[in-house]
Structure 1
Amino acid sequence: MENLSKIKQNQIKLQLRYKQLIEQAYNLRETDSAMSDISEFKAIKLLNKLNRLRYLSREPAKKQLL
């Protein structure tokens, strides 16, 4: 159970950072396209980590009886 709470806390932290990077990429799009691309790349890497954490923190499927 403790591991699950650590995963959830890490997810929240990564989600906030992901949103910041996406916003930064959007804001830089017109002025500095290279920095925008870098921010977007970092955001994509974070999204990949978030997806892995979502997989780890998912609820176990309940067996259905026939």
Structure 2
Amino acid sequence: MNKIDTIKNSQNKLSKRYKQLMEQAYNFRQTDSALSDISEYKAIKLLNKLNRLKFLARDQNKISV
């Protein structure tokens, strides 16, 4: 497996987890605002990691072309 495949797999896993956390935050919004905030915070941290991986994937594509 090369670096781009590894990055893509990580992006897919993080993206799925991000969507789960955002849905969880939305569902908790009416019942428990503290849990909603925690889920949203974790989702934002994952989004930051996703953005860094997108940057790395972009750099790898430039090198391979």
TM-score (normalised: structure 2): 0.89
Quote the offset at 1:36 in angstroms.
0.1
- Unaligned regions of 5+ residues in structure 2, if any? none
Quote the offset at 1:3 in angstroms.
1.0
Quote the offset at 1:60 in angstroms.
1.2
Over the aligned positions, Cα root-mean-square deviation in angstroms equals 1.3
Whole-angstrom CA distance in 2 between matches of 1:4 and 1:36: 34
TM-score (normalised: structure 1): 0.88
Q: Give identity over the alignment, percent.
A: 66
Higher share in helix: 2
- Unaligned regions of 5+ residues in structure 1, if any? 62-66
Question: After TM superposition, where is structure 1 displaced by more than 2 Å over at least 4 residues in a row?
Answer: none
